[in-house]
Structure 1
Amino acid sequence: MRGISRRSVVALGVTGLVAPLGLALGAAPAQAASCTTQAGPYQKQVEKFLGRPVDGRQSAADCKAIQAFQTKHGITPNIGYAGSVTWGVMDLMNKQKAVGDKPNRAGRCPVDKGRIACVDLTVQLSWIQDGGRLVYGPVPVRTGRNGYETRTGLKKIYWRDIDHVSSLYHVSMPYSQFFDGGQAFHSVGLSMWNPPGSHGCVNMTTKDAKSYWSLLKKGDDVFVYGRKPGT
């Protein structure tokens, strides 16, 4: 992703842009492993999040509940340990929930440009506005991991490919809408909370990617701001 400008990518032409580096990759949810009997450093926080008795002690039931959460979101190793990665995902979910239906409360995404897709990296949320009116979202997204950060700033959608396939990673990137070099909105078959993140693209569920495809068009603005936790 690094060092590839929008101008250089456009120069490749549509036929040459077959392997944008904004592709998201992530491990599929792992098979259930043996449960650990060890309490993790975030045991109480994780117990509270999962609705378990908050006593800070690991029980077999605690471990199974933690392990199920880890397996669902592709957190490895999925042994039911209440560590920093597991709590980090849960803490992010709590922060996303707290945003509610006013994602632009602080006014950081510009609303004087007509239709615009906003991406808040800090809370991993995206939404579409039309002036001051919220059109869609906010929805959870999965952005670039450390070293492959989704670039911030004001951009425009310059190419759309509903059935894009990357020849670099040999995977499908449905509903791709490119806005900065190889970085694009597109759907993935992963949890939006699957760590550590994409290779720069803004990953979405199929439902949300389809909605973005129908609501946005070439030339629409995209504004990316904030900083993804862990980058």
Structure 2
Amino acid sequence: MGDIRRRAAVVLGVTGLVAPLTLAATTAPAQAATSCTTQTGPYQKQVEKFLGLKVDGKQSSTDCKAVRAFQNKHGITPAVGYAGPVTWGVMDLMNKQKAVGKNPNKDGKCPVNKGRIACVDLTLQLSWIQDGKKLVYGPVPVRTGRDGYETRTGLKKIYWRDIDHVSTIYDVPMPYSQFFDGGQAFHSVGLSMWNPPGSHGCVNMTTKDAKSYWSLLKKGDDVYVYGRKPGT
């Protein structure tokens, strides 16, 4: 039975690295990825404010370099310094995540009557661990399933753990894998947590957070996934 479950977890849509989302030609200027655009984006003021730049709503060389550095850091393409909807969407999500502070379950949507539980808020792309009403770890940013590969919602349990798992579907490492729904698992990736468009269903984490989840959770612990990832 253990071997059957192991094969099933590999086959059922295990996530891996995905290519960053490319903006459509209608949302960003058609320029080579190495160039820096002079065009003002539709979210220019919001992006300037987020990056601590002069907020005048006009693209400058300084603006472009700062925006492009942000895009390169988080895998947003094309990285030409254009203040478009994908770039602002990432920044807006960061603002919302920061506003949560240390009270991620303020709305009470993640059940607190089950002892140790890992909560995943798809809407805010946050996860944390609770023990009853006590916050044990987090909240931390996560990278969940992209459109068409959504991380499935509902109450689940961790049923298999593999610290050195490798996806046979995508041929990529999935360190600190903790499977909770078919092929969907918590695991670390070497990507920004804000790298669009998302995973193939798994809950991606930084190595630091995935290691902490590995040490804090065990087989049989509850996982509760709720909300809806932006863009899905």
State the TM-score bracket (shorter-chain normalisation). Answer: over 0.9
Asked if the contact 1:114–1:130 (Cα under 8 Å) also holds between the matched residues in 2, the reply is yes
Q: Which runs of 4+ in 1 moved over 3 A?
A: 9-12, 15-20, 27-32
Local SS of the residue matching 1:18: helix
Deviates more, 1:46-55 or 1:31-40: 31-40
**Structure 1 match to 2:5:** 13
Local SS of the residue matching 1:195: coil
1:17 Cα deviation (Å)? 3.7
Asked if the contact 1:150–1:202 (Cα under 8 Å) also holds between the matched residues in 2, the reply is yes
Local SS of the residue matching 1:174: strand
**Structure 2 match to 1:5:** none
**Structure 2 match to 1:68:** 69
| Rounded Cα–Cα distance in structure 2 between residues aligned with 1:147 and 1:17 | 19
Counterpart AA for 2:57: G
Asked if the contact 1:32–1:71 (Cα under 8 Å) also holds between the matched residues in 2, the reply is no
**Structure 2 match to 1:95:** 96
Deviations, residues 192-218 of structure 1 (Å, cap 9, x unaligned): 000000000000000000000000000
| Rounded Cα–Cα distance in structure 1 between residues aligned with 2:8 and 2:91 | 40
Deviations, residues 87-109 of structure 1 (Å, cap 9, x unaligned): 00000000000000000001000
**Structure 2 match to 1:191:** 192
**Structure 2 match to 1:105:** 106
**Structure 2 match to 1:222:** 223
Asked if the contact 1:29–1:73 (Cα under 8 Å) also holds between the matched residues in 2, the reply is no
Asked if the contact 1:29–1:72 (Cα under 8 Å) also holds between the matched residues in 2, the reply is no
Deviations, residues 108-163 of structure 1 (Å, cap 9, x unaligned): 00000000000000000000000000000000000000010000000000000000
**Structure 1 match to 2:174:** 173
Deviates more, 1:184-193 or 1:21-30: 21-30
Change (3 A) 1:107 1:55: same
| Rounded Cα–Cα distance in structure 1 between residues aligned with 2:2 and 2:145 | 21
The alignment status of 1:23 with 2:33, answered yes or no, reads: no
Asked if the contact 1:156–1:221 (Cα under 8 Å) also holds between the matched residues in 2, the reply is yes
Local SS of the residue matching 1:167: coil
**Structure 2 match to 1:160:** 161
- The percentage of counterpart residues that share the same residue type is 78
Asked if the contact 2:14–2:169 (Cα under 8 Å) also holds between the matched residues in 1, the reply is no
Cα RMSD for the two superposed structures: 2.0
Unaligned 5+ runs, structure 1: 1-8
Asked if the contact 2:33–2:78 (Cα under 8 Å) also holds between the matched residues in 1, the reply is no
Using structure 1 for the length normalisation, give the TM-score.
0.92
| Rounded Cα–Cα distance in structure 1 between residues aligned with 2:39 and 2:209 | 38
1:219 Cα deviation (Å)? 0.2
| Rounded Cα–Cα distance in structure 1 between residues aligned with 2:104 and 2:170 | 33
Asked if the contact 2:158–2:180 (Cα under 8 Å) also holds between the matched residues in 1, the reply is yes
Counterpart AA for 1:35: C
1:14 Cα deviation (Å)? 1.8
| Rounded Cα–Cα distance in structure 2 between residues aligned with 1:117 and 1:10 | 24
Local SS of the residue matching 1:211: helix
1:220 Cα deviation (Å)? 0.1
Change (3 A) 1:60 1:52: same
| Rounded Cα–Cα distance in structure 1 between residues aligned with 2:12 and 2:178 | 11
**Structure 2 match to 1:3:** none
